[in-house]
Chain A
Amino acid sequence: MKSTLTKLALTSALIMSSSLMALEIDVKITNLTSGISFTPLLVSAHDSSSKLFMAGSAASTNLQAMAEGGDISGLVTDLTTAGANSIENPAGGLLAPGANTTTSLSTTAGNDYLSIVAMMLPTNDGFIAMNSVKIPTEVGTYKYVLNAHDAGTEANSELTADIPGAGGFAAGTGATGISAAIEGFVSIHRGNVGDLNSSGGASDLDASTQRFLNPVASVIITVK
């Protein structure tokens, strides 16, 4: 038993030391959806206490700005204050359906957790999220899938007037709006409803091309 304890102590000591190393990683993000674009991505390595959000809890104002309007600047400021290593907008604009982008990140020792967020267009306050996932330290390639989240800060009305840039996606007009509520907490996005009436109906989104199911993105981390 004593020897087990010693071994366990040694093991945890090694785990500690490996997690305190700086890392060189590549991050490849692929939009898996058929009709949803991602606004400028934020990819950030940070410490364990710098989570961008907690599912089930209220979103921060800066998370809200990203989810409703695609503006990542507030989150970048938060992360910079926390000493994170961030890459902004690696795709140089929208990441279209089926498209992918790869970025490289050098992490400072202690920034062992990776977060990735971007607004989903067209949605009211939907965003893709990898939420503070431990970065592997062993050399290799690691695959993940990301789910669509709802910031809970805006009702999912699905009206063109409530969605930035929705006009660029052949969104409809004249809808009365989906009877949605503001949740007040971050949830898994329940999906767009849409309808097949581009000049009326309940939703300005198109049910045949602008729905999605989880997962919505894949991420490949290559530890070099």
Chain B
Amino acid sequence: MKISNIVSTLLLGAMVAFSGCGTDEDEMMNPETTYTYSVTLTNVTAGQPMAHAIVTSNSIFSVGESASVALEKLAEGGDNSELLDSNGVSGGVLTPGESETLTLTTASKSISIATMLVKTNDGFAGINDLDLSALNVGESTTSYALVYDAGTEANSETNTTVAAFGVEGFNATRDDNDMVTLHSGVISNEDGLATSALSAQEKFNSQALYVNVTRMK
């Protein structure tokens, strides 16, 4: 059993290496090769609606660096329009538990995803440059997008600063640490921040968006 396992594993490794060479040759002959990815996004938070997502072959953010104004607009106001160009597609609003499937055709073997958690000041679920180079046609990969803090707005959680309450979304002022980091979570008015407009139901714990990518072409 053990030996046959090892033998078939070695054979498999060799075949994968061979087929990998074949793919490279194809690409050299067809520099315009495009890939089509079917991307299913599921909001797996208990109580955070998500604004229009963007799925794009562009990079969107880098931890430790200042957010672009385009990302700030997505993270503070749910507006993905400035991140959206011919390399990307836009999703709809996802309520907690809701799913949507977007299709992206691109020359890139990596994609980025971002969507605002609407009941935060500047929190967004995102994956930057998800590497899909190992994905063959018909294969899928799954991952969770973590929640990041754009670092562009203080996390006051008030009904005049959190986009969900309709008073203010994007604000050009940067009154936080001005770099993208993982989000430390919302506190809520049931957990010690009396001035918060959020309840415990809107808390989240790192993973917010379940992502399934299937390569169609």
A180 touches B210 (CB 8 A): no
- B-side residues, CB < 8 A to A, are 1-2, 4-6, 8-9, 11-12, 15-16, 18-19, 22-23, 25-26, 42-47, 96-99, 136, 144, 185, 188, 190-191, 199-201, 203-208, 210
**A81 CB within 8 Å of chain B:** no
CA distance A21 to B4 in the complex (A): 10
B190 touches A11 (CB 8 A): no
| Minimum-distance CB pairs A-B, first 4 | A4-B22, A185-B97, A56-B42, A190-B203
Q: How many residues of A contact B (CB 8 A)?
A: 45
- A-side residues, CB < 8 A to B, are 1, 3-4, 7-8, 10-11, 14-15, 17-18, 21-22, 24, 55-57, 137-139, 147-148, 150, 152, 156, 178-181, 183-191, 193, 202, 207, 213-214, 223-224
Q: Which residues of A contact B98 (CB under 8 A)?
A: 56
Q: Which residues of A contact B11 (CB under 8 A)?
A: 14
| Smallest beta-carbon distance A48→chain B, Å | 11
Q: Which residues of A contact B46 (CB under 8 A)?
A: 150, 152, 156, 183, 187-190
B15 touches A193 (CB 8 A): no
| Smallest beta-carbon distance A224→chain B, Å | 7
CA distance A57 to B98 in the complex (A): 8
Q: Which residues of B contact A21 (CB under 8 A)?
A: 4-5, 8
CA distance A55 to B211 in the complex (A): 11
Q: Which residues of A contact B44 (CB under 8 A)?
A: 55-56, 186-188
Q: Which residue of A lies closest to B4 (CB)?
A: A21
CA distance A15 to B98 in the complex (A): 34
A191 touches B203 (CB 8 A): yes
